[in-house]
Amino acid sequence: MAIIFKPSPSLPPPVTSVGAVAWVRQNLFSSPLNIFLTLFSIYILYLLLPPVIEWALINATWEGSSKAACTAGGACWAFIGVYFDQFMYGLYPEAETWRINLAVILLVVMVGAFAIKTINKLYLSIAIIVAYPIVAYFLFAGGVFGLEVVETSLWGGLFLTVLLGVIGIVASFPLGIVLALGRRSEMPIAKSVCVVFIETIRAVPLITILFMASVMIPLFLPEGLNFNKLLRVLIGITLFSAAYMAEVVRGGLQAIPKGQYEAADAMGLTYWQSMILVILPQALKLVIPGIVNSFIALFKDTTLVYIVGMFDFLGRIQAANHDSNWLGTTVEGYAFAALIYWVICFGMSRYSMALERKLETGHKRN
Amino acid sequence: MSDKTTPSNNSFLNDAGNRALIFQILLLAMVVFAGYYLFSNLQANLDNRGISTGFSFFNEPAGFPILIHLIEYTEANTYGRAFVVALINTFVISLLGIILATIIGVIMGLARLSKNWLVARLATVYIETLRNIPLLLQMFFWYFAVLAALPAPRDSYEFADFLLNKRGIYSPNPMIQDGFGLVIFGFILSIVASIGLIMWAKKRQTKTGLWFPAYWSSLGLIVGITFIFLAIAGFPIEFDLPQKSRFNVTGGMVLPPEFVAVLVALSTYTGAFIAEIVRAGILSVNWGQTEAARSLGLRDSMTQRLIVLPQALRVIIPPLTSQYLNLAKNSSLGAAIAYPELVAVVMGTTLNQTGQAIETIGLCMLVYGSLSLSISVFMNWYNNKMSLIER
């Protein structure tokens, strides 16, 4: 009978080198410095987390119609509830807010329609870019089909913030592309006009541009010709963001190898044909993260319109904080505003990362 | 690009050069015309409203107080002086903000790269939270929610001789006495001595290879020599301590809440962006560099200082420059919480009182333009100094 060598089963690895214990040892307590840092972090968490959770969740008052309802000693979220409509729509008449909701739903449906395979994407894009803004404008402003006219001075809240951000970025996009092409052009005058415009705008803070839009534009226009403040601020924001957009697009244009330009020329394409058919599709794909980043920056910057007297989301929060019936709810207001801004901005930055991965076609050098 | 060789196409407009010329002439004409049109409207509007152009209002008394002024200023002073006060305030907040934001950014960027899981997570939370919330909201939060919630002067928080209350942070005010010149002399002497020491250490190292901890010892030299001279002069500094009374605090030096709020908001917000830049810069240095340094026998601290950091800086500096520029421009948001910087004083109060829109807004744009320009010139010089010198 053959004796078969049978090794006894190997011992399990020591508890200190696998599983949770090992992880804790490696990641939290690997050296004296790390031990100190871990303990220090835990101490900071201990100082911050329990009071915040207690204030925001445990002792909070969620419902109520006045400050008197908030007796639990924690956050008074009832304040947000009472002011919610104002935060969202500003002073837009309450009976008419369905128009804003309808416009938002319409946009979501139209964008969502891209997911349907059988739909003609070209027509859909044209509908979104050309038809939708007109419909949305008449929905917001009214004056047709028996819709009540709503002055733009009543527009406010998150509605105004999103409006400023979206129009700013959409309108600045074509302008930015033209400026970027101009800056890269070989025509000296066209180039210098673009460079001077881009660099001047980029050198000054947005707030000076907004002041210019609200105070100086009327001075530069002939007597009698004047347009409304929202439009003036929108022009300011668009010009501002176009300068930044131009630099982002220029980055993309520079990243396209010279061979592509030469190949387009060799095919006999004109300048505009080669740009639209060959260069820009590649360049814009490269700079999608940059475009989203400038959108996030612009979205955060729209808060500045409050300084020139427009009540966007932050402006409404600030105004509500001054309500004498709700004194002492400042932190709640800011916390709510911060949460909304954070969700939107963080969501967009994650979306741009996902988009970047999706559009990656393997040209990246490693 | 020229079609001149094809006989059928050699009309004037088919030449790319000619078309470019025509296009540019048209563009120039448009720009000039638009400029002329706007300018003539401006002239007509100003005439109609009876506003005279020019900076003559700069010599008139301003008649408004400025809360924070580092040079002498009263309501009787001119608009010109108010402008200088505001300019100094903008410079001070930008400079301090840049220094603090850099410190916060470097610490947070390193923390996010830390091998310690908890520290890395906390740094990530910090960066992702602050980056995604508008700066103006953060400034409001610090000013209206945090600093306004501090106790009244009589219930101030006290740490050593510092007081913290609604009206700001109070600290002892150093009052210079006779004999301080001796201390300044000692300080300069110590700096000269440490420069000499560093040069000697470098020379010795290139000659013999022996290393000397020159930077630590020169720090010791500066502190030591200055202290000795302080002692010789008999400590010629007296501290004016802040005293709290029922409604106010007397004496001491005060950092007003507007200043603190703007500074904290600017530096923590920009710090979060700088942290990401620092992280990306350090990650961009190939791991092989660290391994090579280790195999040469360099200690960890020397690897970081001599190998990783100089290479990371090349990646870090260009985006860092634009963050510094952003910080300087963002200091204008201080206007929203009444920190008397350029926008608040010139484009706010001065514009309201005099109606000189063109001059005030133009002046502000000019100042920010030159501030941006000088920061980028300095950083470009530094970048050139640090950049890779290739054959």
Task: Residue window 193-222, chain A: list those with CB within 8 Å of chain B.
Answer: 193, 200, 202-208, 211-212, 215-216, 218-222
Chain B CB contacts of A207 under 8 Å are 332-333, 335, 343, 347
Q: Is residue A130 part of a domain?
A: yes
Whether A127 and A240 map to the same domain: the answer is no
Whether A98 and A244 map to the same domain: the answer is no
Identity of the residue numbered A195: V
pLDDT in tens, A22-80: 888 877 887 888 888 889 889 989 998 888 888 888 877 787 777 777 777 777 887 78
ipTM score for this prediction: 0.86
Whether A117 and A208 map to the same domain: the answer is no
Task: Residue window 28-47, chain A: list those with CB within 8 Å of chain B.
Answer: 28, 30, 34, 37-38, 41-42, 44-45
**Which site among A207, A262, A274, A310 would you substitute to test the B interface, given the most B Cβ atoms closer than 10 Å to its Cβ?**
A207
Whether A219 and A308 map to the same domain: the answer is yes
Yes or no: say if B51 and B355 are a contact pair by the CB < 8 Å rule. yes
Chain B CB contacts of A38 under 8 Å are 116, 118-119
The structural domain count of chain A equals 2
What does the alpha-carbon distance between residue A54 and residue A72 come to, in Å, rounded to a whole number?
11
Yes or no: say if A176 and A248 are a contact pair by the CB < 8 Å rule. yes
Residues A317, A322, A326, A332, CA torsion sign: positive
Counting one residue from A and one from B, how many pairs have CB atoms under 8 Å apart? Answer: 154
Whether A251 and A340 map to the same domain: the answer is yes
Q: Is residue A115 part of a domain?
A: yes
Burial class (CB in 10 A: 0-12, 13-18, 19+), A289: middle
Q: Does A339 touch chain B (CB under 8 A)?
A: no
Whether A340 and A242 map to the same domain: the answer is yes
Tokens of B331: 């200091």
Chain B CB contacts of A315 under 8 Å are none
Q: Is residue A351 part of a domain?
A: yes
Query: Given an 8 Å threshold on Cβ–Cβ distance, is B122 in contact with A45?
Result: yes
* CB half-sphere exposure, B199, CA atoms < 13 A: 6
Whether A213 and A339 map to the same domain: the answer is yes
Whether A296 and A179 map to the same domain: the answer is yes
Pick left, alpha or beta for residue A128 (phi over 0 → left; psi -120 to 50 → alpha; otherwise beta): alpha
Q: How far apart are the first and last CA of chain B?
A: 35
**Domain coordinates of chain B in residue numbers?**
7-49, 79-172+241-386, 173-240
Q: Is residue A74 part of a domain?
A: no
What's the pTM?
Answer: 0.85
Distance from CA of B240 to the nearest CA of A (A): 34
Whether A233 and A313 map to the same domain: the answer is yes
pLDDT in tens, A290-318: 888 888 999 999 999 988 888 888 888 88
Q: Tens of pLDDT along chain B (391 residues)? A: 444 444 555 677 777 778 888 888 888 898 899 888 888 888 887 777 777 777 777 778 877 888 777 787 887 788 888 888 889 999 999 999 999 999 999 999 989 988 888 899 999 999 999 999 999 999 999 998 888 878 777 777 777 777 787 777 887 777 777 777 888 888 888 899 899 988 998 898 888 888 788 888 888 888 888 888 888 877 777 777 777 776 677 777 788 888 999 999 999 999 999 999 999 999 888 889 999 999 999 888 888 888 888 888 888 888 888 899 889 899 999 888 888 888 888 888 888 888 787 888 888 888 988 888 887 788 778 777 776 665 5
Q: Please report where in the chains the tokens 């003609």 appear, as a residue.
A: A120
Whether A333 and A231 map to the same domain: the answer is yes
Which residue of chain B has the CA closest to A44? Answer: B122
Return the DSSP state at B50: T
CATH T-level fold of B79-172+241-386: MetI-like fold (1.10.3720)
Residue A62 CA to chain centroid, in angstroms?
Answer: 29
Whether A181 and A232 map to the same domain: the answer is yes
Which residue of chain A has the CA closest to B346? Answer: A208
Query: Given an 8 Å threshold on Cβ–Cβ distance, is A44 in contact with B27?
Result: no
Domain membership of residue A140 as a residue range: 93-149
Return the DSSP state at A17: T
